[in-house]
Chain A
């Protein structure tokens, strides 16, 4: 042993700094390892989660297809059409007018000396109220008869704003005229007519006996002898 070489137990560098560095590195490695493992687990977990979700999605999709099949579109279409038919029929029936009621009312209020020849009516809306405008042409025996007829028409509450016009003396010495008036729709509404009589089951293409109309016509016959 070289005597010049003195043995020493004092380390050239401090021992504590090396061990603490190693400890720090070890701890850091451990933390990063944990992070890495967590990331790996998360990646695997998410991969299987996605597969599960995809299967659930496919299952929901097939469920929806089955539900759609179970819907029975043909039935839905038939039900919708029936509903439309009912609603439109209701709407049309509410506006449905019975011209016989109008003829009946006119017949009852026409004098023997007056004869009506043309009748047309239109339905319109006036301030949200349904109004039936009736236009008629007729012939009166003379002006006195026409004046009497005018008075007769004015008495009927359901006839609104009657206007006699176009007075012309015919070759036979009679007076032809035009009459325009609004008629209360309640007088013409079919539902009022149908409520007023006991209905059998009416049908357009069956041989239904005409018992329902006989009563109203006989009434007209008795009340009115001044038909056109």
Chain B
């Protein structure tokens, strides 16, 4: 009898280790995580939480900087590089600038993204899209220069790419202007 007792204790200890302690520590599967896996997961969570706190500090800094830019400046930036091509508004704006000089724009051609000519209106990988707009205008040279200056000084970014001058009438020339304009890709 006295010889059996230690054997029972030993076997019991072994059973406790293999069927209780080891499964608790190492786990038995994805549904029953062991201490080891939980600790690893906890360490990962703690790491992420630390980073999240750092990011929150950066976000607060970012918010301060974001708020330091006035609404007017943000609106100007949106005019400089709008969210969409908005070619109708652009043409209207150009017409308004031309009207200021007593001119009228004509033969407007806009190569938009939905059109067949996608080569000239492609949102590229740099994060912005560009479109080419062509129009004609008749004006004396001085007035045309005034108009071009106004166009260049406008907030919407316009890069004149080609300019054709036809001088049938010595007092008023026919100009064909092509320019590139941009928008911020979504």
Contacts and interface: CB of A to CB of B under 8 A. Distances in A.
A and B: real partners? yes
Given A50-B24, A205-B96, A60 B149 contact: no
A100 B79 contact: no
A46 B56 contact: no
B119 interface: no
Contacts of B164: 117-120
Interface string A98-120: 11100110000000000111111
B79 A85 contact: no
B159 interface: yes
B42 A100 contact: no
Contact of B79 (A92, A204, A220): A204
Interface in B3-49: 3, 5-7, 9-10, 12-13, 16-17, 20-21, 24-25, 33-35, 38-39, 41-42, 45-46, 48-49
A221 interface: yes
Given A36-B16, A43-B20, A60 B155 contact: no
Given A53-B39, A67-B52, A82-B69, A43 B145 contact: no
Interface residues of A, number: 82
Contacts of B128: 88, 92
A42 interface: yes
B49 A46 contact: no
Given A46-B35, A210-B100, A213-B153, A100 B165 contact: no
Interface string B38-69: 11011001101100110110010011001001
Contacts of B184: 81, 84-85, 88
Interface stretch (A69-77, A148-156, A162-170, A176-184): A69-77
A32 B6 contact: yes
Given A36-B16, A88-B184, A122-B161, A22 B2 contact: yes
Contacts of A207: 100
A60 B45 contact: yes
Nearest to A203: B155
Contact of B149 (A46, A92, A212): A212
B49 A64 contact: yes
Contacts of B16: 36, 39-40, 42-43
A85 B77 contact: yes
Nearest to B7: A32
B157 A57 contact: no
Contacts of B161: 120-122
Question: Secondary structure of the A side of the interface?
Answer: helix
B74 interface: yes
A13 B48 CA distance: 74
B21 A210 contact: no
Contacts of A46: 20-21, 24-25, 35
Interface of B: 2-3, 5-7, 9-10, 12-13, 16-17, 20-21, 24-25, 33-35, 38-39, 41-42, 45-46, 48-49, 52-53, 55-56, 59, 62-63, 66, 69, 74, 76-81, 89-90, 92-93, 96-97, 100-101, 126-128, 141-142, 145-146, 148-150, 152-157, 159-167, 173, 182, 184
Interface of A: 22, 25-26, 28-29, 31-33, 35-36, 38-40, 42-43, 46-47, 49-50, 53-54, 56-57, 60-61, 63-64, 67-68, 70-72, 75-76, 78-79, 81-82, 84-86, 88-89, 91-93, 95-100, 103-104, 115-122, 190, 193-194, 199, 202-205, 207-208, 210, 212-214, 216-217, 220-221, 227-228
21 contacts: A25-B2, A29-B6, A32-B10, A39-B12, A50-B34, A60-B42, A64-B45, A64-B48, A82-B69, A85-B78, A85-B184, A88-B128, A92-B128, A97-B159, A103-B148, A119-B163, A120-B161, A190-B152, A204-B79, A205-B79, A217-B145
